[in-house]
Chain A
Amino acid sequence: DSGVTQTPKHLITATGQRVTLRCSPRSGDLSVYWYQQSLDQGLQFLIQYYNGEERAKGNILERFSAQQFPDLHSELNLSSLELGDSALYFCASSETGISSGANVLTFGAGSRLTVL
């Protein structure tokens, strides 16, 4: 158990629908990162939050949004789902959210999204 909790583990939905993925970071970690892992794209960085504020943005589609709440858990919202959104979505957390020796990313087990 890495200490990073992601729910749900598996999710099957239809095109056009909206889903929410949830992440609870490891105790003491202030920064949360979201990654998408699909077969043909590898691990793509989506977005990073630090203590409730957006810190960095990667290849996140406009149909996707995220936020980090005061208790530091984060949610990734995916809307108007398409077949190509089927992927494994990882959440990771780190202590500082800045480049330093202490900023090691710890990953959750991922949420497998299947869009039919």
Chain B
Amino acid sequence: AQTVTQSQPEMSVQEAETVTLSCTYDTSESDYYLFWYKQPPSRQMILVIRQEAYKQQNATENRFSVNFQKAAKSFSLKISDSQLGDAAMYFCACEGGSQGNLIFGKGTKLSVKP
């Protein structure tokens, strides 16, 4: 069974600074996708970034990038130039199988200080 672990329940960053959220996963699939979702106080789950496991190049979406280490089964999220609107819960997720359902970690609550 797939598992996803986020070891940082809470993180804090100063506005305009950079922060990295950690995630490790375990899967028996040979080809899979990894995701980071953001959940602001509105509760809406918003896709931040995704990574295809067979691609060695790390995914980037504007200020968000990942450090994907396949051998170590590590998938961290880096947020550059942090903004107040980045404050949210961040969930790392791995596909749970060929059906595409996602297995989520327990989340990291990110606070951004002005």
Contact = CB atoms under 8 A, between A and B. Distances in A.
Interface of A: 2, 31, 33, 35, 42-45, 48, 50, 55-56, 58, 88, 90, 92, 94, 96-101, 103-107, 109-110
B44 interface: yes
B46 to A, nearest CB: 8
B11 interface: no
Contacts of A92: 45
Given A2-B44, A104-B50, A109-B44, A56 B99 contact: yes
Contact of A98 (B52, B99, B103, B104): B99
B97 to A, nearest CB: 7
Contacts, number: 70
Nearest to B107: A42
B1 to A, nearest CB: 10
B104 A99 contact: no
Q: Which 7 A-B pairs have the closest CB atoms?
A: A107-B45, A43-B104, A42-B106, A103-B100, A56-B99, A48-B101, A55-B99
